[in-house]
A and B are shown apart, each in its own frame.
Chain A
Amino acid sequence: MSDLRAGLETYLTQLWGAPTAVTNLSRIPGGASRETYRLDADTGGVSRGMILRRDPPGSLIETDRRLEFLAYRTVHGHVPVPQAIALEEDGGPLDRPFFLMERIDGGTVPSPFVFDPYAEHADALGRQFFSTLGRLAALNHEDTPIRQAAEAPAPDDCWRIALDHWSGVIEADEQHPQPIVRAAIRWLHRHPPPPAQRISIVHGDYRSGNFMHDGAGQILAILDWEMAHLGDPIEDLGWAFDPLWNHFDEGKVAGLIPKAEAIALWEAASGLTVDPEALAWWSLFNAVKGQAIWTSAAKEYRDGGFVDPILAISGWYTARRHDLILAERLAALAALGETI
């Protein structure tokens, strides 16, 4: 029996107060910020399908697993997500912090880097994907679990908090000078966006590749809430629209539907409007945020002994792709403006 399986049996037996056997334990590909496993937990003749999310020795980004756990608890019933079951911040018998959720079976989560993954279901999935994001933006989070761990920023501080955080990550983790992203950071500081229309729960990584669908046009779950926080809901829209996630189709966002349609769906579901100036700012910001994540990935790849290929591809391919995206956006801004 593996150490992980034995640790899980010990933990679940204590949690439920009944002998529990763990079967079919297997790691799921992806998930560079958390190790993700599927398992069946058998107690008293009842089998429960579960997902384990455990902190890795090194990760793509340092994220707060408590915040992620509380985000799942908060949005459950409003947004399709699995139910969060238990959180262990000190790791207990699994050595590293982890949490457990129910497992949703029968779905698929395509890689963000494949061609046309949604085929004839792209339109239906796109409508659900952006309407769901709009509902998340509209969700009242006062007195909800996430407020135990997330502070609500002032509407005109959202941009500064987000930019300071991610530019700080670049400052801390950069191993080779990056003039392109630094120029973008300076531009963002010089041209702040309008204040947030409301303070919403921001998923933080809302994109193609982070939702599960049933292969027949139905979204089953929005996943990977590890970067959830409170802030300007336009942030999520900018990330979902990033060309990195477009599946080689420049006519659609997230490989799903045209951008204008996505905005209309989001506006209808959120009750908010998309200010083009705000979206432009958050779009450039998200390319900076991406570059910060990839910069951390490169550092973690090195610090971890070069053994996680997900960190390699993040620190290498996606970093260069975001340099291209940033350079294109900076060129467009430089051509437009009469001042710097």
Chain B
Amino acid sequence: MTPALPDILRGNFMCLAIPGPPEQQGEFMTGRVGVIALLSLLAAQEVERGTTARVWENAAIATVLADAADAYGVQYAELASIGPTDLSLEALDRANAALRRGLIALHEAVETAGDLARHRAIVGLYGEMAEKRRLDLPPLPAR
């Protein structure tokens, strides 16, 4: 997933620190500060849940790939063995990218084979992946 949390927090800093031209003050800057406030709220959620979600997702994809290796090829077992070098977001995302590429390839093969049971299992995994990474916007009142 992009952008990464450090990108967003650094971006917020630069956005506020770099002065804009006169026509970008007032209403525009007020709106911009409101968006930065929302980003800060979402960043808090990502700090709370982001690492856990990535560790879970990497393990879940690895399990699906490993389970498919007998039917779809040993390359999926090799992909399933990919793990992060450490628990930094960057390392987790690097491993996640490799695992997701493997999952995309597996799902294509499953569709080609008409393997409905495994297709449904992968689609179910997608739902869990999306749910674990969800960000919750508060129902802000209209101004």
Interface positions of A (Cβ within 8 A of B)? 2-5, 25-30, 37, 110-111, 113-117, 119, 175-180, 182-183, 186, 190, 248, 298-299, 301-302, 305-310, 312-313, 315-317, 319-321, 323-324, 326-328, 330-331, 334-335, 337-340
Q: From residue A105, how far is it (CB to closest CB) to chain B in Å?
A: 14
Q: Which residues of A contact B8 (CB under 8 A)?
A: 306, 312, 316
B74 within 8 A of A: no
Q: Which 7 A-B pairs have the closest CB atoms?
A: A29-B31, A306-B11, A117-B142, A115-B139, A177-B100, A27-B28, A323-B130
In the bound complex, residues from chain A placing their C-beta under 8 Å from that of B38 are 313, 317
Asked if A27 meets B23 with Cβ closer than 8 Å, knowing A179-B100, A186-B111, the reply is yes
B48 at interface, CB cutoff 8 A: no
Decide if B142 touches A110 in the complex (CB within 8 Å). Answer: yes
Least Cβ–Cβ distance between B3 and chain A, in angstroms: 5
Contact yes or no, A298 B2, CB < 8 A: yes
- Judging by beta carbons under 8 Å apart, are B1 and A309 in contact? no
| 5 extra A-B contacts, CB within 8 A, seeds A180-B130, A327-B126, A339-B116 | A115-B141, A176-B96, A307-B14, A320-B130, A320-B134
> Considering the chains assembled together, what is the distance between the CA atoms of A54 and B107 in angstroms?
43
Q: Are B11 and A307 in contact (CB under 8 A)?
A: yes
Q: Tell which of A305, A306, A324 touches B130, judged by Cβ atoms closer than 8 Å.
A: A324
Q: List 26 A-B contacts (CB under 8 A).
A: A25-B23, A26-B24, A26-B26, A37-B23, A110-B142, A110-B143, A111-B142, A113-B137, A178-B100, A180-B126, A183-B122, A183-B123, A186-B111, A190-B111, A298-B2, A306-B8, A309-B11, A312-B7, A316-B1, A316-B42, A319-B1, A320-B130, A323-B126, A326-B130, A331-B127, A338-B116
User: Knowing A176-B100, A331-B123 touch, does A114 contact B130 (C-beta < 8 A)?
Assistant: no
Q: Are A176 and B93 in contact (CB under 8 A)?
A: yes
User: Known contacts being A5-B23, A115-B141, A306-B11, is A28 close to B111, with CB within 8 Å?
Assistant: no
Tell me the residues in window 110-143 of chain B with beta carbons closer than 8 Å to chain A beta carbons.
Answer: 110-111, 114-116, 119-120, 122-124, 126-127, 129-131, 133-135, 137, 139-143
With a 10 A CB-CB cut-off, give which of B21, B123, B133 has the most chain A CB atoms. B123
Partner of B114, one of A110, A177, A307, A339: A339
Bound CA–CA A114/B88 (angstroms): 34
For B111, what are the chain A residues with a Cβ–Cβ distance below 8 Å? 186, 190, 340
B139 engages A248 (CB within 8 Å): yes
Q: Which residues of B contact A (CB under 8 A)?
A: 1-3, 7-8, 10-12, 14-15, 18, 21-28, 30-32, 35-36, 38-39, 42, 93, 96-97, 100-101, 103-104, 107-108, 110-111, 114-116, 119-120, 122-124, 126-127, 129-131, 133-135, 137, 139-143
Q: Is the interface of A mostly helix, strand, loop or mixed?
A: helix
Tell me the bound Cα distance from A317 to B104 in angstroms: 23
Contact A340 B114 (CB under 8 A): yes
B7 lies within 8 A of A309 (CB): no
In-complex Cβ contact of A4 among B23, B124, B139 (8 A):
B23
Contact A186 B100 (CB under 8 A): no
CB distance from A2 to the nearest CB of B (A): 5
- Kindly identify which residue among B10, B18, B129, B142 contacts A180, using a CB–CB cutoff of 8 Å: B129
- Which of B15, B35, B133 contacts A323, CB < 8 Å? B133
Task: Please report the C-alpha to C-alpha distance between residue A116 and residue B140 in the assembled complex, in whole angstroms.
Answer: 9
Known: A183-B107, A334-B123. A4 touches B114 (CB 8 A): no
Q: Which residues of B contact A176 (CB under 8 A)?
A: 1-2, 93, 96-97, 100
A209 to B143 alpha-carbon distance, docked (Å): 13
B119–A315 CB distance below 8 A: no
**In-complex Cβ contact of B103 among A3, A37, A111, A179 (8 A):** A179
Q: Hey, which chain A residues are within 8 Å of B133, CB to CB? A: 320, 323
* A332 CB, nearest partner CB in chain B, Å: 10
Let me know if A302 and B27 touch, CB within 8 A.
no
